[in-house]
Chains A and B, each alone.
Chain A
Amino acid sequence: SDCSAVLEKTREFFQICDIEGKGFITRRDMQRLNGELPLSAEELENVFATLDADGNGYLTLEEFSSGFSEFMFGPGVV
């Protein structure tokens, strides 16, 4: 049940970022959170660059989920 709760939270948070429902998050989407979350534009850019594992400029649910799982359970748990 922990896993399903984390999966659900992952999807919820992904949808907060991917407000247009494209299925991926762009840098512009992340910068849009500048007013909603207590993080600076630079910190949001840092988050995007860290999560965007392949560096192609499109943050997929898989990359986002991998980052969130690492935050929740530590490295190596995907």
Chain B
Amino acid sequence: DPNMKGAAANEGVLANFFNSLLSKKTGVP
């Protein structure tokens, strides 16, 4: 289902985004 793929892709990008912010603040990758 393309919608499922889209949603999963969005979740992945969001996770990358918030993980990057967490690493940026703590300085730990």
Contacts and interface: CB of A to CB of B under 8 A. Distances in A.
Contacts of B10: 46, 50
A70 to B, nearest CB: 8
Interface of B: 9-10, 13-18, 20-22, 24-25
A43 interface: yes
A37 B14 contact: no
A43 B13 contact: yes
B18 A37 contact: no
- Sorted from nearest, which 3 A-B pairs have the closest CB atoms? A37-B20, A50-B10, A47-B17
Contact of A37 (B9, B15, B21): B21
A36 B17 CA distance: 11
